[in-house]
Structure 1
Amino acid sequence: MSSPDPGTLFEESVVAAVADDAGVDEDELRAALVDHQESVESLPGVENIVYEWRKEYAGPLLKRTEDAYYLLVPERVWSEFADHLDISEPEKAAVIDVHRRTVAARTNAPEEPPESGAYVALGRDV
């Protein structure tokens, strides 16, 4: 299994805009997005984590395509992800914003997730 191209999962224009808005380096943001995807793939795996979230949370799967899952999960999930990534707070906020914009653009979800919720886009194992 391999990571999807982050340019496929996340549009280059979105990554560039978020990096600019957040004042973070665009290449470092791309690297953080890849690191996040790889960390999910390595443990427990994309398919497994989506399965677990579907059992644990009420209706987290917003959309599934051949290439990706688009999810709404509790905000605390991002805290757990951040523990596995060695990134600054501004980079973490930028990663979350790329996911937010991507999920909102590719699903019928509102631009902002409901209170205490967060969006996550995960490339499916290929």
Structure 2
Amino acid sequence: MTRDLPVFEAELVTAVAEAHDTSPDQLAALVARVQSYLAGFPGIEDLVYEWKRAFAYDPVVLRDDERYVVVLLPYVWEELAEQLELEDDDLATLRAVHDRQARATFDARGEDAAVLEGGAPMVLHRE
């Protein structure tokens, strides 16, 4: 299931899926679909660069060899949902799994996740 989601923990995906009344496989497929869609904008690196230029703040709150954790304004998620024709429930589930994974990533590193407050976190695999 999450082998295609290298920056998402399988247990976390399962917990969020259960909390949102969906299956872990369906959630994993949705997360993979978003990653694939975003990677199609000539790539994750370029997309993150464009966000850094477009916003009045630096959305990148964590970057390592595997991932970016960005904090976006909620409208970015809403526009993405519109582009992918996602239902409101799917958007809520996606946002929840990205938020939980962002927080788990900060926790695993022993870092304060306060930078995530008030925003809409997104975790992106650096391919």
Q: TM-score, normalised by structure 2?
A: 0.85
Percent identity, please: 30
Q: Distance in 1 between matches of 2:116 and 2:62?
A: 16
**Cα distance, 1:111 vs. partner?**
8.8
Question: Contact conserved, 1:102 with 1:121, CA < 8 A, in 2?
Answer: yes
Partner of 1:121: 123
Partner of 2:74: 75
Unaligned runs of 5+ in 2: 107-111
Q: How does 1:1-126 map to 2 (within 5 A)?
A: 5-6=4-5, 8-57=6-55, 58-107=57-106, 108-110=112-114, 113-114=117-118, 117-125=119-127
Unaligned runs of 5+ in 1: none
Decide whether aligned partners of structure 1 residues 31 and 122 sit closer, same or farther in structure 2, where only a CA change above 3 A counts. same
Q: Point out which structure has higher relative CO (alpha carbons under 8 A, 6+ apart).
A: 1
Partner of 2:109: none
| Matched positions, count | 119
Q: CA RMSD in A?
A: 1.8
Q: Distance in 2 between matches of 1:21 and 1:75?
A: 21
Q: Distance in 2 between matches of 1:111 and 1:20?
A: 27
Q: Distance in 2 between matches of 1:62 and 1:111?
A: 7
Q: TM-score, normalised by structure 1?
A: 0.85
Q: More helix per residue: 1 or 2?
A: 2
Q: Distance in 1 between matches of 2:63 and 2:70?
A: 9
